[in-house]
A and B are shown apart, each in its own frame.
Chain A
Amino acid sequence: MTITSPLPSVDVLRRNNVAVSGVPDARPIVFAHGFGCSQEMWRAVAPRFESDHRVVLFDAVGAGHSDLASYDPVKYDSLHGYAADVLELLEALELRDVVFVGHSVAAMVGVLAATRDPSRFGALVLVGPSPRYLADAEADYEGGFEQADIEGMLDALDANYMGWSEAMAPMIMGNGERPELALELTESFCSVDPEIARHFARVTFLSDNRRDLSAVSTPTLVLQCSDDVIAPTNVGRYVHQQVSGSRFVELSATGHCPNLSAPDELTGEIRAFLR
């Protein structure tokens, strides 16, 4: 299947605020961030690959310094929209044999992109992946969350964004009419557009991509944290079982973000897999 790019490559790079560093002709490694943050998520990991890789970082549309005007709610109502962007990005940079490192929901975006066009991928590294966050009693699947939890999460999002955008912003900016400007100030880290974050949360936490795992033909590493409430160990094992030939490694790092809490260990495991 050919994916036709609707945008000239320079626009794709601007749209996703793509940053390329490292060794130009070396094997490309692409780091993809998950829900709630931006490419800053990788700031402790990505530089460690610059000596022997072509390192590519990007912001999903709606996050970081991506082009918010490119946000099309229809396109991004499923992870397929984000996967299409990844493929366009790889095409724009003419990357082959790509090591795709996806954290959290970006792990599933990588799975969708790599099953749609495997030709550009050399390795998939799935950090804290979950193909479905909701439990599915009928299929005996323990995702970790119930529908009500997800709705509550959206409430929490709203409550918190309300705090930022409507209460805090005018105070800081002294300008009640342009809260979006203030948002950038208050959120100098991992800036996200509140409306888009809300939609992205829905898409992230209400998607079910279990069926897509078995179609993965790219060599895959599943990295599982200890005590990860978002993507519990049984879910990581499920991903490992469904992706045939995948390698499963349990990190001693705890929580959901080893890219922040244990960059050494994470880097070591990725390198060990690529060796």
Chain B
Amino acid sequence: MTLYSTPFGSEKDHTDHTDGTFETLFEDAPCGYITTTPDGIITRANRTLARWTGLDQRALVGIAFVDLLTPSTQLFYETRYAVVLNLAGEVREVTLAVQCADDTELPIIVNAVTFAGPDGQPGGIRTAIFDATERQDYERQLLAARRAAEASADRVRVLQDASSAFGIVTSAQELAEALVESVGPALLASSAAVLLSGGPEPLEMVTDDETIRELLGSGIRDLAEQAIGSGEVVTVSSLAQAAAVMPGLDEAMHAQRLASLSIAPLRTDERTAGAIVCAFGRDRTFDDDTREILAALSRQAGQVLRRVRLQEELEHRALHDQLTGLANRKLLQERLDAAIATATRSERPVSVVFVDLDGFKAINDNLGHRVGDEVLVEVAERLRRVARAGDPVARYGGDEFVIVCEGADETAGEVIAERIREEVGRPLDSIPPRYAVAASIGVVAWKPAGAQLPSADLLLRLADEAMYVAKRGGRDRVSVTRF
């Protein structure tokens, strides 16, 4: 009773019966204790805090509490602690760290309350400071474990999602789109795109992203080639680095509101090369986790790309002539069926041009099959060149070729056939001048009328018959018939 009603230090008897005066209660409390102005300037600090920090007790007065903190926790103090303290009037159990005189860090937990002055205005702040060394060690371990667990869960999720998305793709195009869908969110990339090339051709961007398209010419294509060449992920962490890597790239990126890039090669085979480009709106450091995800995704995508490319190649082979690369009979049939259907709908004509080489048998018999093959390849090349863009050119049999010309009536069909005849008749590189080939060409022009629909077979037979008319007429000529 007396103890509490007596001003401390005034009655010696009492202090002798207790742990000490209120003064020592303050000075040697098992926690640091300070009072500050509302702005955080220390007005009193107890001995415990001075002892813990190794700082002179008197020197503590007059400096800002925030100046005692480590730079890391200064950021937290100013942006969060001081704000909440001001608004709420108190903060509890906030983790901070003090920079001690010997340059070590003392982890602390802090409770603070604001108090009003006599005039009702903010009077200051009272802050109790607890040593949290052990708790911090424990928390650090907990945090590290949690982050590792989260990172690995993220990685697994990203790779699982990607793997199910990649599993259902049937073309390189679809794969590229699925890869962009997976990588963008996984890396928080503001833009992503896939570049691909089949063999010696330059890399082409196969997915849609205007931002990255704008940058292709500013060095991204070169960096992608570098990544493919080295097999390593190429990264650009900042605009300063971009400028160092490729002059002008920094400005091009800044204009697109980008600050960093990563480019990972897709591991495929010699015939295919590719890369996934990610772009970010701020500086990025590409840590091991990020690189691992990127590498794993591009590895997975590379494997799938090999599979779909093989599939595409098999499909191509099933529909194309191996020697000349032209469409084969099966594909010709499909294209001709489609052309007839379109013509019926649009009521526009279709011409089928049937080409048979004159003089080819002599070459084959006298110069051998290899030279014969070269002639066929050369002729095929010429047919492809002289045919209108989009018109399918097929190898029909040994030295027979067919071209389907949609929208061409008999006049147009004849013009195309004449152009082919002239082109085929020019001297060939693959044979001596005394040998020559020419083309006997039959054209059938069909204009849809009424309900009568020809089959593909019928048009081919009529074109073949017209070709025989040309052949019988003396070869190296064109014969046109209407249906």
Interchain Cβ contacts within 8 Å, total number: 152
- Say if the beta carbon of B451 comes within 8 Å of chain A: no
B residues near A149, Cβ cutoff 8 Å:
70-72, 75
- Compute how far the CA of A73 lies from the CA of B259 in the bound complex, rounded to whole angstroms: 17
B 251-290 contacts with A by CB, 8 A: 254, 257, 259, 280-283, 285
- The answer to whether A227 touches B64 (Cβ under 8 A) is yes
- B100 at interface by CB-CB < 8 Å: no
CB of B184 closer than 8 Å to a CB of A: yes
| Contact indicator B280/A208 (Cβ below 8 Å) | no
A-contact bits for B73-84, CB 8 A (1 contact / 0 none): 111101110111
CA gap between A208 and B282 in the complex, in Å? 7
Residues of A within 8 A of B74 (CB): 229-230
The answer to whether the Cβ of A79 comes within 8 Å of any Cβ in the partner chain is yes
Q: B140 contacts A37, CB within 8 Å?
A: no
Inter-subunit contact B87/A256 (CB<8 Å) = no
- Residue B40, interface by CB 8 Å: yes
- Please determine whether A37 and B238 come into contact, CB atoms closer than 8 angstroms: no
Q: List chain A residues, Cβ under 8 A from B79.
A: 34-37, 104, 230, 256
- Alpha-carbon separation in the docked complex, A42 to B377 (Å): 79
Task: Identify which of residues 272-325 in chain B touch chain A, using a CB-to-CB cut-off of 8 Å.
Answer: 280-283, 285
Q: Are B75 and A153 in contact (CB under 8 A)?
A: yes
Chain A minimum-CB-distance residue to B78: A256
Tell me whether B38 is interfacial, beta carbon within 8 Å.
yes
Question: B449 contacts the other chain (Cβ, under 8 Å)?
Answer: no
- Per-residue interface assignment for chain A, residues 216 to 240, with 1 indicating a CB less than 8 Å from any chain B CB and 0 otherwise: 0000000000011110000000000
Do the beta carbons of B283 and A206 come within 8 Å of each other? yes
Q: Name the distance in Å between B90's Cβ and chain A's nearest Cβ.
A: 10
Question: Once the chains bind, are A208 and B76 in contact (CB under 8 Å)?
Answer: no
Whether A208 contacts B78 by the Cβ 8 Å rule is no
Question: Are B38 and A261 neighbours in the complex by a CB distance under 8 Å?
Answer: yes
Flag whether B67 is at the interface (Cβ < 8 A). Answer: yes
Q: Which residue of A lies closest to B189 (CB)?
A: A74
Q: Please, what's the 1-or-0 string for A156-182, where 1 marks a CB less than 8 Å from any CB in chain B?
A: 111110110000100000000000000
Asked if residues B73 and A152 are in contact (CB atoms below 8 Å), the reply is: yes
Interface centre among B95, B142, B143 (most CB of A within 10 A): B95
Question: Quick check: is B227 within 8 A (CB to CB) of the other chain?
Answer: no
In the assembled complex, B185 has its CB within 8 A of some CB on chain A: yes
In the bound assembly, the distance between CA atoms of A146 and B140 in angstroms comes to 20
Q: Closest approach, in angstroms, between the C-beta of A1 and any C-beta of chain B?
A: 11
Residues of A within 8 A of B140 (CB): 155
**Contact of A81 with B by CB under 8 A:** yes
Residue pair B188, A159 in contact (C-beta under 8 Å): no
Does B190 count as interface, using CB distance less than 8 angstroms? Answer: yes
B79 smallest CB distance to A (angstroms): 4
| Interface check A189, CB cutoff 8 A | yes
Residues of A near B64 (CB, < 8 A) are 227, 254-255
What A residues does B240 contact at CB under 8 A?
A: 136, 138-139
Find A73's partner among B38, B188, B239 (CB 8 Å cutoff): B188
Given A155-B140, A156-B95, A160-B94, do A77 and B86 touch, yes or no (CB 8 Å)? no
Chain A residues with CB under 8 Å of B147's CB are 158
User: Could you tell me the distance between the alpha carbons of A81 and B257 in the complex, rounded to whole angstroms?
Assistant: 11
B190 contacts A78, C-beta separation under 8 Å: yes
Tell me whether B281 and A78 are in contact (CB under 8 A): yes
Bound complex: CA A199 to CA B184 (Å): 16
On whether the beta carbons of B84 and A189 are closer than 8 Å, the reply is yes
CB-contacts of B38-96 with A (<8 A): 38-41, 64, 66-67, 70-76, 78-80, 82-84, 86-88, 93-96
Chain A: which residue is nearest B239 at the CB level? Answer: A211
CA distance A35 to B185 in the complex (A): 23
Q: Which residues of B contact A267 (CB under 8 A)?
A: none
Instruction: Kindly provide the distance from the CB of A264 to the nearest chain B CB, expressed in whole angstroms.
Output: 12
Task: Contact check, B185 vs A74: say whether CB atoms are below 8 A apart.
Answer: yes
Q: Indicate with 1 or 0, residue by residue over A131-162, a CB within 8 angstroms of chain B CB atoms.
A: 00100101100001111111111011111101
Is B282's CB under 8 angstroms from A255's CB? no
Tell me the smallest distance from the CB of A169 to a CB of chain B, in Å: 12
Give me the 3 closest cross-chain CB pairs, A-B, nearest first: A152-B72, A78-B281, A36-B79
Q: Which residues of A contact B (CB under 8 A)?
A: 34-37, 40-41, 43, 73-75, 77-81, 104, 133, 136, 138-139, 144-153, 155-160, 162-163, 168, 187-190, 203, 205-208, 211, 227-230, 254-257, 260-261
* 21 A-B contact pairs sorted by A residue (CB < 8 Å): A37-B84, A37-B87, A78-B190, A78-B282, A145-B71, A148-B72, A152-B72, A153-B76, A155-B72, A163-B93, A168-B93, A189-B84, A190-B84, A205-B75, A208-B282, A208-B283, A229-B78, A230-B79, A255-B39, A255-B66, A257-B78
Additional 9 contacts, C-beta under 8 A, given A159-B143, A162-B142, A168-B93: A35-B79, A77-B280, A151-B72, A163-B93, A189-B87, A230-B79, A255-B82, A256-B78, A260-B83
